[in-house]
Amino acid sequence: MLILHCPYCGRDVDETDLHPGGEAHLKRVGPDADAEAFEQYLFMRENPKGVHFERWRHAYGCGKWFLAARNTATLQVYGTYSAQTTEPPHDIMNAIKEAQA
């Protein structure tokens, strides 16, 4: 079972208490954006075989969204962090570098 640390509750949470929310750090496009930008925002996904930044909601807990860095080829979790970020923080990037070294 996947276990993620909820950065808001400070608790390790089982997958069954969480709801997955797909790729993180998507930039929402404005109402005047063209069809290609909407396609990119709504449907095109990185879907990497490797490090994936993704959204999770602590659905049966505090109810808050947070973000996780996880490897889709090994299922290793590098860490979780606040959803109030536009890119992965340094400590997460360092953890990924360390794990891949």
Q: Which is nearer to other proteins, 74 or 94 (CB)?
A: 74
CA angle centred on 80, ends 42 and 83, rounded to 5°:
50
State both tokens at 22.
């797909």
CA angle centred on 74, ends 10 and 48, rounded to 5°:
95
Minimum distance, C-beta of residue 51 to other proteins, in the bound complex (Å): 11
What is the radius of gyration, based on Cα positions, of the chain?
14
Q: Which is nearer to other proteins, 2 or 62 (CB)?
A: 2
Q: Binders of other proteins among 35-94, rule CB under 8 A?
A: 35-36, 38-39, 42-49, 52, 54, 70, 72-75
Q: What is the rounded CA–CA span in Å between residue 44 and residue 50? A: 17
What are the residues binding other proteins (CB under 8 A)? 1-2, 15-16, 19-20, 22, 35-36, 38-39, 42-49, 52, 54, 70, 72-75
